Amino acid sequence: MEAPFEHSGTLILRVWAEGAPGAFRARILRTTGARPAPPLAASTADEVHAAVQAWLDTLLEPDR
């Protein structure tokens, strides 16, 4: 019988307003299991969404 698929990770998203209305900066800290990844910076919602999606894809990849 195959062992159950179990992975864990942490994603910390720090966002602050900057400059013009609606402008922001984000710092993204990620781990998958015990492996920390280099921090990311983002300044658009699309960049934040892409970083979160990539983290989830890595975390939920069964052959990781």
pLDDT band at 54 (very low <50, low <70, confident <90, very high): very high
What does the pLDDT read at residue 20? 92
Report pLDDT digits (tens) over 2-47: 555 567 899 999 999 998 999 999 999 999 888 889 999 999 999 9
The alpha carbon of residue 18 and the mean position of all alpha carbons in its chain are separated, in whole angstroms, by 21
- Greater pLDDT, 63 or 1: 63
Residue 51 · residue 32 · CB < 8 Å: no
